[in-house]
Chain A
Amino acid sequence: MGRLRSDKVAIVCAAIVVIFILIAVFAPLLTRLFGVEVRAGDPSTDTDIFNFPVIGPPDHGFTWKAPLGLAPDTGDDNLAEWLYGARTSLMIASISTVFATLIGITIGLVAGFSRGWLDRVISFVIDVFLSLPFLLAALAVAPIIVLRFSDRPGLLKWATFFSLIFILIITGWMQLARLIRGEVLSLREREFIQAARVMGVPTRQILFKELLPNMVAPIVVSFSLTLPAIVTAEAGLSYLGIGVIGQPSWGQTVLKAVPYFDTYPLYLYAPVLGIFVLVVALNLLGDAIRDAFDPKTRR
């Protein structure tokens, strides 16, 4: 921890991440502070005959009424969408990462500690999951879910939200499971584990009290590197149309903004910059955490 604190890059990145988290948590408060609202656009009054917003960029100057402008076609406020998009992104990323990590740890521990057939079965399952083309599966699943809940928009919002999280969890746990399995295989032969067995410590306690504390470093590192990967994946999937529907998200905004890039670049820059800064900060922070845990990899 002390080593992490002396790392300037880590401190800056941690600050950026904290700011993003605060934005996500206080999104309703911030929107009220700026006097903007989500999904408040009215195409008939907020857009002109070319479907471009009547106030703010790209045709008019900066206005505090809409600091990031309004969206073309709908007239929704970009800042409000961006703030709530940060919320969606971080929520999906953190929920998926937490569950993927938990699943990875449990399966890795069980596989590593059980010799013989169970280990072989679990390793096989991990291999199978790693070889599945998840993008294709997700592309196939998305229309089914949209069709299934299309008549109930309230449900559709959550159905797409949770199916996205589900897809991200399913794709995210294998790497960590393999890592943990390898760590357990090497730690299991250490004498303190044998000492615990001689003392008659129950297996569950050996796994979670003796082994797990020794794997905090790889778990934290994996967590901090999975988080940005999932933020990008979420945005990417949303861009492909598999993302959340019915609530703001950066990926959705990117999808909508791409056709307007030549006429209204700010519309696209806002979400892209959000994703870029958050992912870079998380990645650098993850690297710093790994370096702090393992002095041997210091640059």
Chain B
Amino acid sequence: MEQFNPRARSDPYGKKINRDQSPVLVHGIPWATIIVASLTPMLPIIAAAPVLPPLGLIFMVAWRLLRPGLLPLWAGFPLGLFDDLYSGQPLGSGILLFSLTLIALDMLEVRFPWRNFWQNWLTATLVFLVYLGLATLFSGANPSLRQFVVVVPQLLLSILLFPIVASITALLDRIRLLRVRRIG
């Protein structure tokens, strides 16, 4: 068969015979991308106002919507804890909000098992709206209207960024499922 078509026994993820996916890539890539995205405060951007979107949350939502069941339901605890260590929010705000996000997305999934991208985008928009609102409320500063106004550009940026992050996760998903491990 290979004489006629060298790619006969392979698919987009590589050869099918004698090869398997690497568990490190399969489970490591989603966690690693979310953790790296949570490290954005260490970028040399000294902002006078909140300008960067909450990248850790955006990546988590993107992975969760792309591959349901890949992140366990309790993943919000460790991921939120890590995000809290750098984000400047009081410790616990990320743990609570990340966990609630995963639970909410899980419940949404029971209601709408089949979704298209536009529904995912709408879901993500709602998640970002609620997350940024609550994060501002929990930030430890006296909540005033002005702070919620300051968050609006960040919210818009997050919403616009979601399709890009979703394509990045889709690309990483293809790398994640490559059959790189040789069996036998």
Q: Do A and B originate from a single complex? A: no
Chain B residues near A (Cβ < 8 Å): none
Chain A residues near B (Cβ < 8 Å): none
